[in-house]
Structure 1
Amino acid sequence: MLASQRRSVILDLVEEAGAVKVSELVERLGVSDMTIRRDIERLSSDGLLERVHGGALALGGAHSSEEPGFSAKSLLQLSQKQAIAQAAAARVMPGSAIGISAGTTTYELARAVKDVPQLTVVTNSVPVAQLLHESGAPGQTVVLTGGVRTPSDALVGPVAVAALRSLHVDLLFLGAHGVDAMTGLTTPNLVESETNRALVGSARHTCVLVDSSKWGTVGLSTFADLSEIDLFITDNGLPERARAALSDAVGSLEIVEV
């Protein structure tokens, strides 16, 4: 395959899926990692896609009602998400019951706590449940809510809400599409917003895990006010004005260095 043909295939795949990983392209096209990275760099310099760590994203910003897929979001701010997840994992004790909402930062938390023994995890995230089922420590229990699956691999809707109303966790780890001083935590999906409210209602304490790029993003529906958050963990890319606003609004703010 000529380089131009290969780049055309890469662009088609990115536009179809919203994002692709370098490893997926290597396997699909049968060329080296370095070749794929050069192709992505060329397509990026031509203004045809966005190059990110580990892959590429389709161009175009999301509107308040648009919901990116799990694969697309998982490529963004990965080092920040991993640092945030490690800081949050330090608060998870063996034998406790925790909630993990759907999302790519919360998925990194699931990676960080998979070796914690005797842990009970309530989640509406299909990837989180699958990860812990396949590689969780002996004695871990995973409770998957059920519900209708969204593009972000969240299970939402009346079935999920009904399940959560009968459950109680010590600590909920919650992600968000966007965070803003006025609108609080938001999502583009109205049904997911209702399910996230049920998650918050099931928890004694709520910890939000979001990277600094989410600040100022406003989705269609608010599912939690900042005053409802006991602990907010983000990275040091957060602007000073945002830090001041969060410090005043949430129970505690933790900034991790990346």
Structure 2
Amino acid sequence: MLARQRQAAILDRVRSAGGVRVTELAAEFGVSDMTIRRDLETLHEQGLLAKVHGGATLADAGSTDEPGFRAKSVIQAAEKAAIATRAAQLVRPGAAVALSAGTTTAELARRLVDVPGLTVVTNSLPVAEILHVGGRPDQTVVLTGGVRTPSDALVGPLAVAALGALHLDLLFLGVHGISERAGFTTPNLMEADTDRALVAAADRLVVLADHTKWGTVGISSIVGLDAADVLITDDRLAPGARRVLEERVGELVMVPGTEGAQ
């Protein structure tokens, strides 16, 4: 296959799936990782896709753009894994916790499958699947109803109603963006309502967000920065962002973003 043909096939794959990994493309086309990286660089220079760590996604759009779960899963994978590992240390056996939708919370779910007596409430289809397939028999998984979004979240009035009568120890919240003015945001209006219901149901709010979320603003605010009891991010956070967050959130935890994603 000529390079031009391969690049066209790669672009088709990104457009259909929302994101691709270098290793998967190399295996599929029978070429080296370096060849695929050159292809992605060419497509990136043409403005046809966005290069990310380990792969590529669709080029950035506006505040209502909502990438699919697969597209987001290839972005900052190592940082998300490290954040999830740190977050798992906050979970105790027998706790009742909530995990919002998101790729970082899905990474956290993989680290909770062996926690005994855990009750997990979630509006994330991938999180529920991870715990259903790999979790312990003494765990309870509660999946809200609702309308499915491109990021595999269940949102809307049904989800909000399901959360209204619950009382949870911890909420682990994944977010689309963080800013000093807008707080924690999402590109989906109904998802913001559902996330606020999750926040209201939990005694403590732990936000999970890698450093690239700073400065990104989705169309709808979930809660302000002051609402977070803990924010776990990676150590590539910009110094200015760090100063703002140290002043505004209850506790800022920065982890080395070096652990390989699962």
Q: Does TM-score exceed 0.5, indicating one fold? A: yes
Counterpart in 2 of 1:213? 212
Counterpart in 2 of 1:239? 238
Take 2:160 and 2:13, find their aligned partners in 1: how far apart are those partners? 35
Instruction: List aligned pairs for 1:1-258, cutoff 5 A.
Output: 1-22=1-22, 24-25=24-25, 29=28, 31-32=29-30, 34-35=31-32, 38-46=35-43, 47=45, 48-58=48-58, 60-258=59-257
Structure 1 residue 227 displacement after superposition: 1.2
Take 2:74 and 2:95, find their aligned partners in 1: how far apart are those partners? 30
Take 1:142 and 1:200, find their aligned partners in 2: how far apart are those partners? 18
Matched AA of 2:41:
S
TM-score where L is the length of structure 2: 0.91
Structure 1 residue 22 displacement after superposition: 4.1
Matched AA of 2:9:
V
8 A Cα contact 2:25 2:36, kept in partner: no
TM-score where L is the length of structure 1: 0.92
Larger displacement relative to structure 2 (159-168 or 6-15): 6-15
Matched AA of 1:228:
A
Larger displacement relative to structure 2 (4-13 or 63-72): 4-13
Counterpart in 1 of 2:260? none
Superimposed CA distance per residue, residues 157-183 of structure 1 (whole angstroms, 9 cap, x where no aligned partner): 000000000111100000110001111
Take 1:246 and 1:43, find their aligned partners in 2: how far apart are those partners? 34
Take 2:212 and 2:52, find their aligned partners in 1: how far apart are those partners? 14
Take 1:121 and 1:233, find their aligned partners in 2: how far apart are those partners? 20
User: Alignment length, in residue pairs?
Assistant: 254
Unaligned runs of 5+ in 1: none
Matched AA of 1:76:
I
Superimposed CA distance per residue, residues 99-154 of structure 1 (whole angstroms, 9 cap, x where no aligned partner): 00001111111111111111100000000000100001231110000100000110
Q: 1:11 to 1:22 in 2, by over 3 A?
A: same
Matched AA of 2:250:
G
Matched AA of 1:164:
L
8 A Cα contact 1:41 1:51, kept in partner: no
Take 1:3 and 1:41, find their aligned partners in 2: how far apart are those partners? 10
8 A Cα contact 1:40 1:51, kept in partner: no
Superimposed CA distance per residue, residues 41-98 of structure 1 (whole angstroms, 9 cap, x where no aligned partner): 224235243343443222x222111111111111011111111111110010011110
Superimposed CA distance per residue, residues 12-63 of structure 1 (whole angstroms, 9 cap, x where no aligned partner): 1112322123455467x4x43x4465134224235243343443222x2221
Take 1:79 and 1:86, find their aligned partners in 2: how far apart are those partners? 11
Look up the SS of the partner of 1:151 in the other structure: coil
Take 1:191 and 1:231, find their aligned partners in 2: how far apart are those partners? 24
Larger displacement relative to structure 2 (235-244 or 207-216): 235-244
Structure 1 residue 2 displacement after superposition: 4.4
Matched AA of 2:78:
S
Superimposed CA distance per residue, residues 159-208 of structure 1 (whole angstroms, 9 cap, x where no aligned partner): 00000001111000001100011110111110000000000001011100
Superimposed CA distance per residue, residues 233-256 of structure 1 (whole angstroms, 9 cap, x where no aligned partner): 111111122111111111111111
8 A Cα contact 2:186 2:192, kept in partner: yes
Matched AA of 2:176:
H
Take 1:124 and 1:205, find their aligned partners in 2: how far apart are those partners? 18
Structure 1 residue 219 displacement after superposition: 0.7
8 A Cα contact 1:105 1:210, kept in partner: yes
Percent of counterpart pairs with the same letter? 55
Take 2:240 and 2:86, find their aligned partners in 1: how far apart are those partners? 23
Unaligned runs of 5+ in 2: 258-262
Larger displacement relative to structure 2 (248-257 or 143-152): 248-257
